[in-house]
Structure 1
């Protein structure tokens, strides 16, 4: 396979490039040059938001393209138009956020989606994440039709995660002591390892698949309790997880998802994010490696490479103290 990755140096894009290289593919990446490319790729430079940002792609042909763009969708529109007739398939890494909020539990790919336009953001205006992803989908479909693979991912974790969700928990638990853990302990989570998502995306492109896929693991792939207990095991720090009821967490003004990464309290938002219908992707071959491997490999990369740059997530010391003061003893939740 001759593969073009738009991105290719961070998290999922890098996982795609490395997986393709391991299969013997010829891999070209285009990015802004802010991070070192994986060894073995042909690295091109370009800022997709600049007027001439795609100049490096004016020549060449590829069997498939993987586009990890998360910004305004006009960048996807411009890339697909430029690559029309020079690539067979186009995988756009989208998100389950494209479904109207909050999505119904066990929603399949034919569920209602937000409005979007391929030209959104061209005037420099702000475009919210859901609308941006939907606009990117429409841009890919407008040019590649049924050869556009729309990868609607959910919670992505794994080595080199640059959003900081699993790394924050690993880092905090590694410090030891009493760690506030948001309950209930058996709260179900739905996730995918970036490397498994990368492998599935390449397999799907090789098979000529197109259209939308909810590309994440099965509902109840894990629980909040399981993933935090694995973090405690792999770090070996002897931390004590103190489980705190969700109503106590919310009463202290702690924000789900950002202050407590990966966690949403039981309710419509949680059910919409963590109980998606993924039967189509599973039938097309999506499989998850053991969660213990995902957590252990993430911790190994953190220790070897340092904590990667990421968005601000996690509890402040003041928030942590407030939660522990509100739940001083063992909590059964």
Structure 2
């Protein structure tokens, strides 16, 4: 197979390139040249946001193209238009954020989506950005495009820093506030499993929208954090905090407590989606212990901070917030005061 990767030096794109090279595919990679590309790929340097930034792609033919772009939909539009007669199949890595909020638990690919435009610039909400990218790809490739609607993505090369934050915090040891309940289910996908599925699905000609995360309940927040303790060899002690106590402390889910969302509407939207189509098309998700261990190994081998995305809010707890959550955990551990005898 001849693969054109638009991007390919960070996180999901890098995993796609490494997987394709391991299959013996011929990989051409277009990127801006800010980070080294995986060895073995043919590299084309170009900035798709710049005037004439796609000039190097005016010639060439490929069986497949994969596009992980998360910026202006107009950049997807321009690339897809340029490539539609010279690429057999186009995969756009989208997001389950395109569904109209709130998406109910169990929603499949037929659910209503937000408005979007292929002509949008970059200054639009993320959900509209991804929907605009979908429309751009569809306009150019029609039934030759796969819209891979991913959810939470974890694993080595993570450039958001959610799992890395937990691993670094647990590695420091001591009492670690853990948002509960421990059996709260999580639905995510390891970037390497996503990459393998993208290539398999594209090679098979799969088209249309597809939710691509693990089955609901693939793991739990308790299993994830316990794996962090094991792989770091830390003496950290997880102190479980009730969701109500998290809210009372003014701590924000998802950003200040990465990965975690309390039970309710938003948790259902992110962690209880229907993924039957992806599973039937061969999606296989490795155990959470493997994802956590491999991410820790990667973190120990690199300084990942320069690669972190700067377009997202900073992650993690401040000292005062952590103290407030640990105080709540301590209070929950105390027995209730004795009831005074009457009469």
Give how far 1:328 is off: 1.7
- Equivalent residues of 1:242, 1:330 under 8 A apart: no
User: After alignment, is 239-248 or 309-318 more displaced?
Assistant: 309-318
Aligned in 2, Cα 1:284/1:331: closer, same or farther, shift over 3 Å?
farther
Once residues 48 and 126 of structure 2 are traced to their aligned partners in structure 1, the CA distance between those partners, rounded to angstroms, is 17
Mapping of residues 65-104 of structure 1, within 5 Å: 65-104=65-104
The one of 193, 197, 200 equivalent to 1:200 is 197
- The answer as to 2:45 corresponding to 1:48 is no
Q: What is residue 313 of structure 1 aligned with on the other side?
A: 315
Moved over 6 A (4+): none
Aligned in 2, Cα 1:297/1:331: closer, same or farther, shift over 3 Å?
farther
Once residues 175 and 58 of structure 2 are traced to their aligned partners in structure 1, the CA distance between those partners, rounded to angstroms, is 56
Classify the secondary structure of the residue corresponding to 2:294. helix
Q: Which has the larger radius of gyration?
A: 2
- Equivalent residues of 1:245, 1:331 under 8 A apart: no
TM-score after normalising by structure 2: 0.94
- Equivalent residues of 1:243, 1:330 under 8 A apart: no
Classify the secondary structure of the residue corresponding to 2:177. strand
Q: What is residue 270 of structure 1 aligned with on the other side?
A: 267
Mapping of residues 1-333 of structure 1, within 5 Å: 1-121=1-121, 126-308=123-305, 309-311=307-309, 312-328=314-330
TM-score after normalising by structure 1: 0.97
Give how far 1:306 is off: 2.5
Once residues 103 and 113 of structure 1 are traced to their aligned partners in structure 2, the CA distance between those partners, rounded to angstroms, is 9
Give the gaps of 5 or more residues in structure 2: 335-343
Aligned in 2, Cα 1:233/1:331: closer, same or farther, shift over 3 Å?
farther
Classify the secondary structure of the residue corresponding to 2:30. strand
Give how far 1:330 is off: 6.3
Per-residue CA deviation, residues 216-264 of structure 1 (Å, 9 max, x unaligned), is 0000011000100011001011100000000110111111100000011
Once residues 217 and 184 of structure 1 are traced to their aligned partners in structure 2, the CA distance between those partners, rounded to angstroms, is 20
RMSD: 1.2
Give how far 1:196 is off: 0.4
Classify the secondary structure of the residue corresponding to 1:213. strand
Once residues 31 and 152 of structure 1 are traced to their aligned partners in structure 2, the CA distance between those partners, rounded to angstroms, is 22
Per-residue CA deviation, residues 79-122 of structure 1 (Å, 9 max, x unaligned), is 0000011000000000000001111110000000000010011x
Give the gaps of 5 or more residues in structure 1: none
Aligned length: 329
